[in-house]
Every structure is written in structure tokens, then in C-alpha cells.
Amino acid sequence: MGDKSRKQAAAGERAADVQGRFHMDGLSVYRPGLTVPIADVIKDAEQCGYPFKENEAHYRKMGFETVSVERRLSLEEMAERALEPIAERCMQEGIELGEIWFAHTSKVAWHESNLFKTMLRRWRWEQVPLYPVEEHSCSTFHWVLRMAGHQFACDPYKAVLFVTADLGIHPFYYIDDFMICGDSASACLFRREHGDHRTLVVKYKAAGTVYDDDPSRLRQFHAMYYLGIRKIMLETLGEAGFTLSDIRLVVCGNINRQAWETVAGALRVPPEMFYYATMRETGHITNSDIPSNLQHALSGGALRPGDYYLTVTVSMAGTFGCALHQYVPAKRKEGKS
């Protein structure tokens, strides 16, 4: 047995000891067909009075080129596009839901408070507990992973559904000093015992000092947050007895290229290990970054069966999320997604 095979076998034994908490058993992303050059995004925000500190070259250096923009569908319609394939499979296979989480950063008017009403009725989920999370953070994906563990502890036979939708309602939504954001929607289905992606360890942390709005503390966080990312990654791996050499990829949020290159340098690993392939085209699509990049990695062959990988998110509001997963594609019956 070669060194690589021995390392993989050892990693497998450590993973078995951790006994994966649950699995991701479905993944769907809706991205608008329209992509807008960042020059147009900057121009629109400029005309509305956004106080720019940087120019287009600055955002290009960070890795942004175009942005996904939805100009036809409503927030609800976007969410339904992403949800539909997973919901249909739940109906076909008799998968029962224990709870639904819905995350979005878009401001929703009072009359849209029952955003899910039509979908709940369509899929006969009126009695399933629904938890909307508005403006939580760009690490909401990992926060929901943490929350899912509680549901499985109460009822391991019911699935958890995580749905996201983000739709800009003003030119300011698409840009700030740190990144350029786009529109998107996604849906992920989590189950205790079944799924293509086994989740072994989940970490979620908040840097509480950011929330007091002290300018000096905010500047300090923005200058040093990459160390927080490094720390949570190493803690996640350490809990499973893993090292970075056991990991194929780090699937991360589309915050900006410089951030992940800095983290790679701090960890002394190649920048190519950090996977954010959709950022150049879509921008930072908030709650859908991880599902979108993971879907891209699978379709492009960047992840192979048996590979271990990390997912990592960070919010400029001071939250960090990280999880260790293994890609274990299940064999499905013909006609099932």
C-alpha cells in the first residue's frame, strides 16, 4: 500500500470514529440567466449616490467581473425554482420534513411575510415548522448546519430543508466597499442517514466585539479576520483528527479572491486549494455561495467519490462557519435525482 493509500485509509478510520452527524441528500441552485458587467453595477450605484472609495480596477483585482441579476422573477418565484426539484423528490420518495429554514438578505415588505404560503400548500407542508432567518449573516449556511443537528437529535427520521433567496431591490444592494453581490436562490436537503455528502464536524462562531459598532474594533476585525478563518478551519479539522493534507478542496464563499489567497498563505497551502469558481461570473451570492460552488466542483470533477473537503464562510459582520464533509455519492434508482 502506497503512502497516499495509507493516508486515505487512516483518514477513513478517523472519520468513522467521528460518526458523521448527517448528510446532504439534495442540492439545487437557481441562478438568473442575466449577468451584468461590474462597470454597470458601479454606474447604477454611483447614480444613486453611493459614496465610492474604490474604482472598477479595485473590484476586478478582488476577482469580480460580472454579477447575476434577476429582472423577471420575484423573490418567491426564485425560491420556488430552486426548491422544485428537491420538493418533487421528497414527494416521490416519501421523505418527511421535520423543519424548514428560509434565509434571505433582501428586505421583504410586510405584505410578503407569508412568502412561503403558496409553496407550503403546493407541497403539503403546511404543518411543517418554518423558521425564516432575515439578514442573519453570510455564514448562515453553517449556522443552519449547526441547527440541523438539534433536529436530528430529536427526530432522526425527518429531514431538514434549507431554502435561500436573495434579490436586490436597490442598486446599493449589489455593491459595498468589500465585495459585489448578485441574485440567487438555492435549496439543500439534509438527512440523518442518507445523502451524497456526509457532514462530520460543524463549527460556527461570532466575533462579538464587532457588534458594538466601535470604528476601531471594526477596522481591527477587517484587518485580521483571515486569522479567524484560519483558526476555525484548524479547529474543525482537529476535532476529526484530520490535517489539511487529508482535504481535497476548501469550498468557500465568494467574498473576494484576496481574502482566500491571504488565508491560504497563513495556512501555507496552495491558493488553488480554495474553490470559489462561480465568483467571477455571479459575484457574492450570499446564502447560495456554498451550494453554487459545490455544485460547480461536482460538475467539473474537482471533487471525486471518497474525497474529504471543507466548506468555509465568513461575514464582515463578524461570523465564521466551517464544516468537514466527505463526498460519498449514493447509487440511486433510475429516474431519481
User: From first to last of its 337 residues, what are the pLDDT tens digits of the chain?
Assistant: 445 444 554 555 544 444 458 999 999 999 999 999 999 999 999 999 988 888 899 999 999 999 999 999 988 899 999 999 999 999 999 999 999 999 887 655 544 456 678 888 999 999 999 988 765 678 899 999 999 988 998 999 999 999 999 998 888 889 988 889 999 999 999 999 989 999 999 999 987 655 566 777 777 777 788 899 999 999 999 999 999 999 999 999 999 999 999 999 999 999 999 999 999 999 999 889 999 999 999 999 999 999 999 999 998 777 899 999 999 997 654 333 3
Q: Does a structural domain hold residue 313?
A: yes
User: Are residues 52 and 169 located together in one domain of the fold?
Assistant: yes
Sheet bearing 159-166, strands edge to edge: 130-134, 97-104, 159-166, 184-191, 22-30, 197-206, 319-327, 308-315, 249-252, 274-275
Residues 244, 140: one domain?
no
Residues 131 and 158 reside in one and the same domain: yes
Whether residues 49 and 164 share a domain: the answer is yes
Q: Are residues 178 and 69 in the same domain?
A: yes
- Residue 235 within a domain: yes
Do residues 16 and 28 both lie within one domain? Answer: no
Q: What is the DSSP letter of 38?
A: H
We report the CATH number of the domain holding residue 152 as 3.40.47.10
Handedness of CA 205, 207, 210, 216 (dihedral sign): negative
Spatial separation of the C-alpha atoms in residues 235 and 54, rounded to whole Å: 35
Inside any domain, residue 59? yes
Question: 33 is written with which cell numbers?
Answer: 440567466
The CA–CA distances, whole Å, from 65 to 37, 240, 284, 304 equal 6, 37, 11, 29
**Do both 202 and 180 map to the same domain?**
no
Residues 6+ apart with CB under 8 A from 214: none
Question: Do 34 and 45 have their domain in common?
Answer: yes
Q: Is residue 333 assigned to a domain?
A: no
Contacts for 151 with CB less than 8 Å, ≥ 6 apart: 98, 99, 158, 160
C-alpha to C-alpha distance for 310 and 204, rounded to whole angstroms? 13
Q: Are residues 67 and 205 in the same domain?
A: no
Dist. CA 86–CA 160, nearest whole Å: 12
Q: Quote the pTM value.
A: 0.89
Domain count, the chain: 2
Q: Which of 135, 163, 191 is the last residue of a domain?
A: 191
User: Does residue 337 form part of some domain?
Assistant: no
Residue numbers of the domain that contains 42: 23-191
Distance CA 230, CA 267 (A): 7
d(CA 184, CA 23): 23
